[in-house]
Structure 1
Amino acid sequence: MTTRNLDALFHPRAIALVGASNRPGSIGAVIARNLFEAGFEGPILTVNPKERAIRSSLNYASVADLPIAVDLAVVAAPPDTVPAIITQLGEKGCRAAVVLRAGYGPGEQIETAQQRQAMLDAARPYLLRVLGPNGLGFISTRPHINASIAHLMPAKGDVAFVSQSGAMTSAVLDWAHTRGFGFSHVVSLGESADVDFGDMLDYLALDNTTRAILLYVEHVKDARKFMSAGRIAARSKPVIVIKAGRGAAGARAAQSHTGVLAGSDLVYDAAFRRAGMLRVHELRELFEAVSTLAAGIKLTGDRLTILTNGGGAGVVAVDAVEGIPGRLGVLKPETVEALDKIIPVSWARANPVDIVDDADGARYGAALKVLLADKGADAVLVLNCPSSVADSGQAADAVITVLETRMRAPVLTCWLGETAAAGARRRFAARRIPTYETPDEAVRAFGHLVSYQRNQTQLMETPPARTFEDPDRAKARELVEKVLGEGRSALSEVEAKTVLCAYDIPVVETRVAATPEDAGRCAAEIGWPVVVKVLSHDLTHKSDVGGVRLDLRSSAAVEDACRAIIASVAEKRPGAHIAGFTVQAMVRRPNAQELIAGIAYDKTFGPVVLFGQGGTAVEVIGDRAVALPPLNGVLAREMIERTRVAKLLAGYRDHPPADMGAVAGTLVKLAELLADLPQIAELDINPLLADENGVIALDARIVVHETRVEGTDRFAIKPYPSSEVFELALTDGSKVALRPIRPEDEPALVDLVHRSDPQDVRMRFLGSVKDFPHLMAARLSQIDYDREMAFVAIEPNGDTCGVVRIISDPDNEAAEYAIMVRSDMKGKGLGYQLMTEILAHARKRGLKTVFGDVLRENGPMLHLAEDLGFKVTAGSEDPTVMRVVLDLSATPAPAGAGAGAGL
């Protein structure tokens, strides 16, 4: 749904507990204890038809008897009574409800779809939000709300935890309690009938009491909503996730190699990565990662240098680097020269830098300064082992002193041991310097930083759905529709290669032969040697039934091979219909790597692109990476780098590097094919040969199905809307370009604000803005096109002179607008045209209303709104703000709107 009324969940003025009880051990008694003992400052009213008082507080027989309105209700009642209770609460003005487990066993939980739907139907007329059912409830520490059946109240903190598992919620609370770890909010979603991950991510992204968000995910219901909200949240604060259920059993029914390899967990992993989140696999890692990311360290690469006073500890750390997405840095010659003046002559002059066990604070500090200046390292891990000849505390103080003048320097620390290390760890923690107990934990933390930084880079990428201008889309679409019209679900090899050709993916010439004799004649025309394959719609993988023969050098050999294929298929797959054979040249590219590239469909996240090492043993090797479309060259190359075969593609010994541009381009073209042909469910190119001369597809398979969904509507991430580019003519005769905003427009937004009159800036932001911080500019330029749109107006010299945006609720019904025109561009009609274009976009996406808040003194904006058909009303509780609202269905679009021309 939306974040609407979630403020009633976390900041209620009064709370009602429906189903409160005095019976020891009952759900009603547990929740009553938690609510009353948490320290909530507002009234807590209880409802139970059989009790006079609950915990010495006056009880009410029914919701209707409550003497005041409540914002939040906690419902612990039998399932068949919940819809009626929700209705009564809505009538009393309640805006949010937590529906807990009502009874003592599974038979008494809200289990059926009918029960859930009745509950939601009861809530809808009142816009009442429902958390649950069948969860533990939630805890919010600052307002002292414990609306849960959890066994303890956590300490205050600035980390939010949202979980689909009640058991995991309890475990995390227990784990954190023993370690003094605090939370801002703890939310158990239960069945997520209404409030889900998307809603919580949207809310927590803007919650100033939350510094980081932790998720425990079992499954995602609405992929686009999750990705949209997750990408917005991850731009403003770390989002760290544990995903349960890492198996890929759901892929077993796939018809292609790609479908089998793209297991559901791999797709979830790709989704988290693309959303800018960090995935971890253990509970301990979850909290380690929070501490690491909270330090604010920003990496520029993946190279780690290790500074240690113990060789063994350094070796342990080096070994751990092998298991993370990072590598050891190589010391620059000038760094070695500088260290020679600091470290005793016996040191190895390599990474790890062993400064010997007698290293005092001065040596630690001097060595750390040198390593921080080394351009060959992106971070430094400082290790310390207890020593009888040097003071560990003094070494820690030296590190702290160095970092006092280098805020957020990329330094991690690990003081080994207990007694000698405890004080140092406390001092590091007090200054938010990341510190760990063991070298492998510290290296794993560096891996978290590397992964997080890479994911944040992916988050900045906003590729369009289509980047190539000349695919023969009509030809490919006609062929797919022909196959579906014949009642087939699989294209033949020749048909599949024809589709690839339409998208400029090189394929080997392939001919179809009906008989062994025809195959021999085709082979003679192509030239020797050749490859022959069986042609059958009944066979998924030809090699499995002996349906492929290689390196044939005569017509007789081709005919014999065809007859051997017929016999082999009859033995291994009796009943399979053989339509003929395909004949193609035997491609000899000795330096080429066999790859697989393809498309699969995930039931949660929709279509995905897969890449990895190919060949007949592709599923045994299991070397693959998955990415969500749309793709561009940057995302495609990152995808390639996540595979083991990438090292072979980079070249080795006498094998030159492969044409990585051609490999990445193939993946981008496959993503574009997905945008154009939603009928494609699975696609294999295996093998795709890649060498220094480019790529060529030797075999291809495509599975199709009927669908009426547009291609990009299946995507979990909405592409950059590159088609919405216009030219606007201003009243002074000048022209500006108008296009959707991109992340790289952030500096231009800052420049726009700085070049505008402070009074104009105050009108835009409804208050004084002394500075325009990076986070605000990033949030305004890095948007999710599924629910937002921002157009930037750009002068011929490249300067941004205006921006207009709408942000819609997830229901896609209403949107808030905002507009700003650079002060020196006012009076040229730019503001009117920007508003006209954004309203045209709102109409196109089916929004019903557009609204905005305008300062009462902002006469020009109020007049412009009235000219466009907005109705001006009193705003919120602030008398200085007016609310302007436009009913799009009742207001026709101006002539030419949406085209930019002549406005």
Structure 2
Amino acid sequence: MTTRNLDALFHPRAIALVGASNRTGTVGALVARNLFEAGYEGPILTVNPRERAIRSSLNYASVADLPIAVDLAVVAAAPDAVPGIIAHLGEKGCRAAVVLPAGYGAGERVEGAAARQAMLDAARPFLLRIIGPNGLGFISTRTHINASLAHLMPAKGDVAFVSQSDAMSAAVLDWAHARGFGFSHVVSLGDKADVDFGDLLDYLALDNTTRAILLYVESVTDARKFMSAGRIAARSKPVIVIKAGRSAAGAKAALSHTGALAGSDMVYDAAFRRAGMLRVHELRELFEAVTTLSAGIRLTGDRLCVISNGGGAGVVAADAMEGVAGRLGAVLPETVAALDKVLPASWSRANPVDILGDANGARYTEVLSALLADKGSDAVLVLNCPTAVTDGAQAAEAVISLLATRPRAPVLTCWLGEAAAAPVRRRFAARRIPTYETPEEAVRAFGHLVSYQRNQTLLMQTPPARIFDERDRDKARTVVERVLAAGRSALSEVEAKAVLAAYDIPVVDTRVAATPEEAGRLAVEIGGPVVVKVLSHDLTHKSDVGGVRLDLHDREAVEEACRAIIASVASRRPEVRIEGFTVQAMVRRPNAQELIAGIAYDATFGPVVLFGQGGTAVEVIGDRAVALPPLNGVLAREMIERTRVSRLLAGYRDHPPADMDAIAGTLVKIAELLADLPQIAELDINPLLADENGVIALDARIVVHEARVEGTRRFAIKPYPSGQEAELLLTDGSTVLLRPIRPEDEPGLVDVVHRSDPQDVRMRFLGSVKDFPHLMAARLSQIDYDREMAFVAVEPNGDICGVVRIIADPDNEAAEYAIMVRSDMKGKGLGFRLMTEILNHARKRGLSQVFGDVLRENGPMLRLDEELGFKVSTSADDPAVMRVVLDLKAEAQGHDGHAAAATAGP
């Protein structure tokens, strides 16, 4: 992920239009009109070898003829000419280009792919960033740039829209224009040859002109980059996404149930949720959601209370709750007693709270005040139906006056009707009080708030790759490697259960018999009723061919069942080779639910963990949820709660609640297994029985292949690197804990700045910092451990006293460092220890260079850099800033040279 040179897109000092035209109806003419009429205050230079002027502006025959350097170029030329144009632009100092034409192909169009690669190769030496090709272009209302094929210039606003589709971009602009909805920026990514969602999310996260981000996504190309940038942006501001292709077919045929069940759209849904984004499904819903979330309401739960002056409207709202996240709250007895004193005797005394058709403003105020104090609900929806006996506008003013004293109170409003209600809704909107036309829309908005808040909770989770310490990983690895060495891709049931047992997942003791007679003998040893299953590496699902027999009580019944299995398999699948039978005790747990848990692989986001209702009809039932690893208890429980079977697991009638800790723990163990064994492509535990006594796996299926990458590198989210925690001894004899930064460290970072001398803060940020904003602190504490690393030093009391970080470039070659030590901790050697630790991390990462910018007057930091081996020189951009560079590659070569000399002696 990189925002390198994206400032040239959003804030260019000059723009060039290559391929400009005066010919009506051409792309060059349309873009020229949009550029010149948008109001951009800098120079716009046009390039066309056959024109003297474009729109009365002097034209240039070639890029080489441009009299000044341009930051941004808009290219409206034929695809075969674009690589050369990009190269010339780079030579002239251009840093970003919007490439509009299509024709670069995709998939099997080799010639198009070659042209696309030639364009990227031409841009690479200059680090020139490319938007497109095959998109609508770029619009920024803040800088008055319309470098697009759009038919209109949107109004100025504070919402950024990033779309993969030019058609959807145009539709959204048209829809928003008709409703007076404005944008800060509109970016149409097209084919995403270079700049993609991850790059723009990372940039927009810190853009103070953007309050919310809307995405239209068709596909994601770099999952880890997308997740990292998305998580950073979603901590700073609402990110709302529409994903196309919801109705597409699921995963291709797979050997396991989980492989077939984990459809790609379900995985995208899990990714958006884990990134803290809110997914919506309709264009209208997209704008409703951004209005709702931008109001600043933060919920503490999922319970809604409804106030209405009409019983019917309240019932409609209550009915709408069935289809959204959230539930109706309860009106507590003390609140009922309080409302009895101010409401007519015939009020509903329940939720929805019907305050009757003659409710005036004073009644709305008293009821809303009481319900905001009620602990039985987490938000209030205020409904108003037009009546002949009361003034809806007066009731609205009462609500507005009350909320003026309670900013960001969890209140949504819905004034039904049009003639009298429309002005009221405008009054609410002007004061940023969420308002809607119908009860259904209002309830859906509450669902958005609930889902968003849940996703924000998931966003804060940073589980490590490994939690459980006692593992027989070597035993599990040996089983997998033995299967691969035999040329097989599917483990037998016994082998699969051995792998699960190594990870403390309870399994039924399962024994192998080569013949019916041996199976009968094993049944006697086990005692009690048993289950017999066919053992064959050719079979995926044993029950499909009659390969399972249950509740067998004696040797004769077992032997007969084995012979029946042989006959059944022979008649249904004569090509199947039977190796024998498995025999296990018949498990009787009458309160248990049959579950499925396992692993599937998604082409975009890599491995995912699946959970749902199990049994032989698992595909028909279709009750499942997926989550991206790594997992912890919080993430696993949220995953369970997304399934229908979770209601049964909670207990009902004479069925006690299942052991949820055991179920969640199993999912976490599966994710850990996934991190340790990259050979595992698919895994089924079906059924996994769960009741009040815990869980037990009755059957298991594992599919493996040769590992292509290390386990956690397949994950779309890099785990928290818990193995990099250490204790540091300072020169005064005190100790601090060094550990990687976590999202919850945001307040600690703010505290370091507030408790430091302003001069020290200025040295760290290369300028005065009057305040340390939430957006910056969120960005610095929510990092991508893959490309970025930050260590914090934590005192025994939990306070953060220092932080050091490096951020690597996209090629993992060079990284910039930054460090800050709290003022009262200076002089204890903490800065030296932090720098030593981060440089050691850079060496382990294989970085070639670490650099930084230091104010010339910051003598202590410059001396420390020199002591650590950095070379110091004056910055080319600012004489007051020194550039310090540590060449790790040369350092490593020097060490290798010394080692060679030591071994080459006489």
Q: TM-score normalised by the shorter chain: which range applies?
A: over 0.9
Match of 2:726 in 1: 726
Deviations 1:600-646 (CA, angstroms, capped at 9, x unpaired): 00000000000000001111111111000000001000110111111
| Residues 76 and 102 in structure 1, CA contact (< 8 A), matched pair in contact too | no
Report the Cα distance in structure 2 between the residues aligned to 1:717 and 1:104, rounded to whole angstroms: 31
State the shift of 1:284 in Å. Answer: 0.5
Q: Distance in 2 between matches of 1:119 and 1:47?
A: 19
In the other structure, the counterpart of 1:574 is: 574
Per-residue deviation, 1:770? 4.1
Quick one: structure 1 residues 372 and 585, their matched pair in 2 at CA, closer, same or farther if it must change by over 3 Å? same
Deviations 1:759-799 (A, max 9, x none): 32332233344444444433332322122211122233433
Instruction: Tell me the equivalent position of 1:62.
Output: 62
After TM superposition, give the deviation of residue 879 of structure 1 in Å.
4.4
Tell me the SS of whatever aligns to 1:885: strand
Question: Which residue in 1 is equivalent to 2:505?
Answer: 505
Does residue 801 of the first structure (1) align with residue 801 of the second (2)?
Answer: yes
Identify which range, 576-585 or 769-778, moves more after superposition.
Answer: 769-778
In 2: Cα distance, 1:491 partner to 1:53 partner: 72
What pairs with 1:238-637 in structure 2 (closer than 5 Å)?
238-247=238-247, 249-637=249-637
Contact 2:156–2:182 (8 Å) recurs in 1:
yes
1:527–1:406 Cα change, 3 Å: same
Q: Which residue of 1 aligns with 2:755?
A: 755
Letter of the structure 2 residue corresponding to residue 671 of structure 1: A
SS of the counterpart of 1:444? Answer: helix
| CA distance, structure 2, for counterparts of residue 60 and residue 773 of structure 1 | 45
> Post-superposition shift, 1:874?
2.8
Assess if the C-alpha contact under 8 Å between 1:766 and 1:854 holds in 2: yes
Distance in 2 between residues matched to 1:494 and 1:669, nearest whole Å? 19
Match of 1:784 in 2: 784
Shift of 1:176: 0.6
1:736 Cα offset (Å): 2.1
TM-superposed CA distance for 1:517, in Å, is 1.2
Q: What is aligned with 1:901?
A: none
Q: Give me the whole-angstrom Cα distance separating, in 2, the residues matched to 1:776 and 1:98.
A: 29
Cα distance change, pair 876–658 in 1 and its aligned pair in 2 (3 A): farther
Change in 2 beyond 3 A, CA 1:793/1:711 = same
Report the equivalent of 2:901. none
Structure 2 CA distance, aligned partners of 1:103 and 1:661?
Answer: 54
Query: What's the secondary structure of 2:349's corresponding residue?
Result: coil
The alpha-carbon distance between structure 1 residues 53 and 249, as it changes in their structure 2 partners (threshold 3 A), is: same
AA in 1 matched with 2:4: R
Query: Would the alpha carbon gap of residues 248 and 24 (structure 1) be closer, same or farther in structure 2, given more than 3 Å must change?
Result: closer
Taking the aligned partners of 1:237 and 1:796, their CA distance within structure 2 comes to 33
Partner amino acid, structure 2, of 1:363: R
Q: How does 1:12-31 map to 2 (within 5 A)?
A: 12-31=12-31
Q: Residue 642 of structure 2 aligns with which residue? A: 642
Paired position in structure 2 for 1:187 = 187
- The answer to whether the 8 Å contact 1:77/1:103 transfers is no
Seen in structure 2, the aligned counterparts of structure 1 residues 88 and 768 have a Cα distance that, compared at 3 Å, is closer
Task: Find the aligned partners of 1:459 and 1:172 in 2 and give their Cα distance.
Answer: 28
- Report which stretch shifted further, 326-335 or 751-760: 751-760
Whole-Å Cα distance in 1 between the matches of residues 798 and 84 of structure 2?
60
CA offsets, 1:104-155, max 9 Å, x none? Answer: 9999x99721111111111111111111111111111121111111111111
2:34: which partner in 1?
34
Are the structure 2 counterparts of residues 730 and 893 from structure 1 closer, same or farther at C-alpha, using a change threshold of 3 Å? farther
Q: 1:696 to 1:411 in 2, by over 3 A?
A: same
Q: Which amino acid aligns with 1:523?
A: A
Conservation of the 8 A alpha-carbon contact between 2:103 and 2:112: no
Superimposed CA distance per residue, residues 523-581 of structure 1 (whole angstroms, 9 cap, x where no aligned partner): 11111211111111111111111111111111111111111111111122120111111
CA distance change for structure 1 residues 543 and 84 in 2, over 3 Å: closer, same or farther? same
CA displacement at 1:81 relative to structure 2 = 1.2
Is the CA contact (8 Å cut-off) linking 2:133 and 2:190 kept in structure 1?
A: yes
8 A contact 2:726–2:739 mirrored in 1: yes
Question: Which stretch of structure 1 is more off in the superposition, 114-123 or 57-66?
Answer: 57-66
Name the CA distance, whole Å, in 1 between partners of 2:798 and 2:169: 51
Q: CA deviation at 1:807?
A: 2.3
Deviation, 1:173, is: 0.8
- Whole-angstrom CA distance in 2 between matches of 1:314 and 1:217: 36
Does the CA-based 8 Å contact 1:793-1:803 persist in structure 2? Answer: yes
Q: Relative to structure 1, is the Cα distance of residues 697 and 388 closer, same or farther in structure 2, using a 3 angstrom cutoff?
A: same
Query: Does the residue aligned with 2:420 lie in a helix, a strand or coil?
Result: helix
Q: Does the residue aligned with 1:335 lie in a helix, a strand or coil?
A: helix
Q: What corresponds to 1:129 in structure 2?
A: 129
* Larger CA deviation: 582-591 vs 23-32: 23-32
Measured at CA, do residues 892 and 642 of structure 1 come closer, stay the same or move farther in structure 2, by a change above 3 Å? same
Cα distance change of structure 1 residues 254 and 622 upon mapping to structure 2, 3 Å threshold: same
Gaps of 5+ in 2: 896-906
Aligned-pair CA distance for 1:248: 5.1
Q: Deviations over 1:216-235 (max 9, x none)?
A: 00010000011111111111
Partner of 1:225: 225
Which residue does the alignment assign to 2:840? Answer: 840
Instruction: Measure how far apart 1:94 and its partner are.
Output: 1.2
> Which residue identity lines up with residue 334 of structure 2 in the other structure?
E
Question: 1:743 and 1:840, CA in 2 relative to 1: closer, same or farther beyond 3 A?
Answer: same
What SS does the corresponding residue of 2:307 show, helix, strand or coil? Answer: strand
Q: Residues 129 and 195 of structure 2 are in contact (CA less than 8 Å); yes or no, is this contact kept in structure 1?
A: yes
Specify whether residues 840 and 438 from structure 1 end up closer, same or farther in structure 2 by C-alpha distance, changes over 3 A only.
same
Q: CA deviation at 1:103?
A: 7.8
Distance in 1, Cα, partners of 2:420 & 2:85: 60
Higher mean alpha-carbon deviation, 84-93 vs 452-461, is at: 84-93
In structure 2, how many angstroms separate the alpha carbons of the residues matched to 1:335 and 1:592?
40
Q: Determine if contact 1:77/1:102 at 8 Å carries over to the other structure.
A: no
**Deviation, structure 1 residue 801:** 2.3
The alignment partner of 1:723 has SS state of helix
How large is the Cα RMSD of the aligned pairs? 1.9
Structure 1 stretch 513-522 or stretch 694-703: which is displaced more?
513-522
Deviation at 1:708, TM superposition (A): 3.4
Q: Distance in 2 between matches of 1:660 and 1:781?
A: 31
Deviations 1:802-825 (A, max 9, x none): 221222233323322222222232
Aligned to 1:886: 886
Task: Report which stretch shifted further, 764-773 or 837-846.
Answer: 764-773
Native 8 Å contact 2:236 2:774 kept in 1: no
Match of 2:904 in 1: none
Cα drift, residue 878 of structure 1: 4.7
Q: Residues 731-742 of structure 1 correspond to what in structure 2 (within 5 A)?
A: 731-742=731-742
After superposition, the Cα gap between the structure-2 partners of 1:762 and 1:48, relative to the gap in structure 1 and judged at 3 Å, is closer
How far apart, CA to CA, are the structure 2 residues paired with 1:164 and 1:24?
27
Q: Which amino acid aligns with 2:396?
A: A
1:900 counterpart residue number: none
Give the whole-Å Cα distance in 2 for the aligned partners of 1:478 and 1:312.
66
Give me the whole-angstrom Cα distance separating, in 1, the residues matched to 2:106 and 2:720.
46
Over the matched positions of the two proteins, sequence identity in percent amounts to 83
Residue 10 (structure 2) pairs with residue 2 (structure 1): no
Give 1:163-178 correspondences, 5 Å limit. Answer: 163-178=163-178
Matched, 1:78 2:78: yes
Does the 8 Å contact 2:277/2:452 carry over to 1? Answer: yes
Distance 1:53 1:737 in 2: 66
Residues 70 and 94, structure 1, Cα contact 8 Å, conserved in 2 = yes
Q: Distance between the aligned counterparts of 2:66 and 2:794, measured in 1? A: 58
Query: Using a 3 Å threshold, how does the CA distance of structure 1 residues 499 and 151 change in structure 2: closer, same or farther?
Result: same
| C-alpha distance after superposition, 1:147-173 (max 9, x if no partner) | 111111111111111111111111111
Q: How many residues align?
A: 894
Distance 1:736-1:705 versus aligned 2 partners, 3 A rule: same
Instruction: State the TM-score, normalizing by the size of structure 1.
Output: 0.97
Residue 55 of structure 1 deviates from its aligned partner by: 1.8
